[in-house]
Amino acid sequence: MRLLLIGCEYSGTTTLAKAIWKWGQDEMGADFGLFHDHWKIPNVTGHWPIDVDSFATEKEQKELLSISSKLKEQMQRHSLYYHIQPGAFNVGREEEQGFYSDYMAIGMHIEDAVYGPLYFGYGAEGQPAPRTLVCQTVERALLEHAPDFVLVLVKASAAVIARRMKDDPHTNQVLQEGDIERVLGRFEEEFEKSSLHTKLTIDTSSTSVEETLITFAEEIEPHLSVSDRERRDRYIQNRDRSG
């Protein structure tokens, strides 16, 4: 199973990713191992749940925020290209490149295309490595080496986003309150532009995490690969025997 969750900060992408990680493990024996969430500067290091010690400290976050736009752009672009190397999707040999048989990422090229030009001074048209071209490069690689990727737009209303920002503010959050509508619109735009074949939309405005996960499980079912379904059947049979 290969998933890319995107959405405005505070829409619930990370919360849903954690729920999917456990659901996949418990219900079909999926092996995500971790998920990749490296594209909201300054949160560009570490992996949940096995590499949290590598998350940037408060001091390191300040240092990352202080570097030039040029260096931010290069750091993000190089990270993107690392995460789409063919070896990451070489079935049965993913671990040789430090990846797992299942793949889940948050944001990736789309998040970078939204936040880079708006907040970090890179990636706009006319600048080096405009994110229109970077997005095309990333998606060409995904379509060639992992065409079964599912793109999931996680969304919430502007009012809900604003309330979540107030109730549980993130350290060094990217999103600014005055930009909520604009950022929501940009994610919708990039979602529609994406050339990935399979796309789902999930609205978290008025649902609990548990309800959102149920919706995801229902929506993803028709898009599970043959190998996903076969693995799930084996996993359930073995679980029932041992239970």
Structure tokens at 65: 């925020």
pTM: predicted TM-score of the whole model, two decimal places? 0.95
- 102-154 residue pLDDT tens: 999 999 999 999 999 999 999 999 999 999 999 999 999 999 999 999 999 99
CATH label, 2-242, candidates 3.20.20.70, 1.10.150.120, 3.40.50.300, 2.70.98.90 = 3.40.50.300
Residue 243 has pLDDT above 70, yes or no: no
**pLDDT recorded at residue 240:** 78
Structure tokens at 177: 């309150």
Task: Return the number of other C-beta atoms located less than 10 Å from residue 47's C-beta.
Answer: 15
Cα separations (Å) of 75 from 69, 99, 116? 10, 20, 12
- 58-86 residue pLDDT tens: 999 999 999 999 999 999 999 999 999 99
Domain residue extents for the chain:
2-242
Residue 173 has pLDDT above 70, yes or no: yes
